[in-house]
Structures are given as C-alpha cells and as structure tokens.
Amino acid sequence: QVQPGESGGGLVQAGGSLRLSCASSGLTTSWYGMGWFRQAPGKEREFLAAIRWTDGSTYYSDSVKGRFTISRDKVKNMVFLQMNSLKPEDTAVYYCAAVDITTMTQYGSWGQGTQVTVSS
C-alpha cells in the first residue's frame, strides 16, 4: 500500500501539524539517507532534514530545528516528516529524495512533491 512519491500535504492553520510520507529504497550503505526539501514560490529548493538509513542519525536545517522531526520505518521502507508549530512561511511544495549523507545533497530524482499551505 506504499504510494510512490510524497504524500500528506494539505491546508492547515498556523500552529497546526502535518505528517508527510514517502517511500525509500532502504539501501544499507553507510552513505545512504533520505531527506526532505521544500520550495516556496519564487524561492530556491531548500534542504530541511535528512536521516541516515543505517542508524537513524538525523540532521536538520536551522529553519525547522525543534519543530520538524524526520523518522523512518525500516520495515516498510518509509520516511516521514512530522511538522509541528507550522507557520505561514512554511508554505511550499515539499519533496523527499535520496541523499548522500556525507554531503547532504540529493542524488536521486525529484517527484511531484506535496503542497503544504499554512494560513494565518
């Protein structure tokens, strides 16, 4: 029942929460990770968070640290982004992608993304 690409976006009010999901390849190499990115209108795509698949180590950008939590399900090969205390400036299209955990850069293909809209 795993859907390809990102899911879980929607419309929320400021202060609300959403949980995003996507599938992972689940590779066990030391450098393999999954990350979340977003792109707001007129802005460049930005890195938000990443998780190393082997040991679950997590990494966050300053903009979401303390509000967003990345996690994984190794059995189902899924990665999640729990987003709390959402702000209007979090409005963007959110993407997940495989990342090289040593560089924190995406190396796989981008999907359609899922729209997150936060109203005030």
**Looking at residue 12, what is its pLDDT?**
98
Read off the pLDDT of residues 94-120 as tens digits, 9 standing for 90 and up: 999 999 999 988 887 888 999 999 999
3-state secondary structure of 28: coil
Least confident stretch, 7-11, 23-27, 89-93: 23-27
Question: Quick one: what percent of the chain has pLDDT higher than 90?
Answer: 82
**Looking at residue 50, what is its pLDDT?**
97
DSSP letter assigned to residue 90: G
Read off the pLDDT of residues 64-77 as tens digits, 9 standing for 90 and up: 999 999 999 999 99
Mean pLDDT, residues 46-68 taken together? 95
Residues 14 and 120 sit within 8 Å (Cβ to Cβ): yes
3-state secondary structure of 1: coil
CA-nearest of 98, 115, 114 to 29 is 98
Q: What is the residue-averaged pLDDT of the chain? A: 93
Which carries the bigger pLDDT value, residue 40 or residue 110?
A: 40
**Looking at residue 45, what is its pLDDT?**
94
**Greatest distance between any 2 Cα atoms in the chain:** 42
**Looking at residue 4, what is its pLDDT?**
62
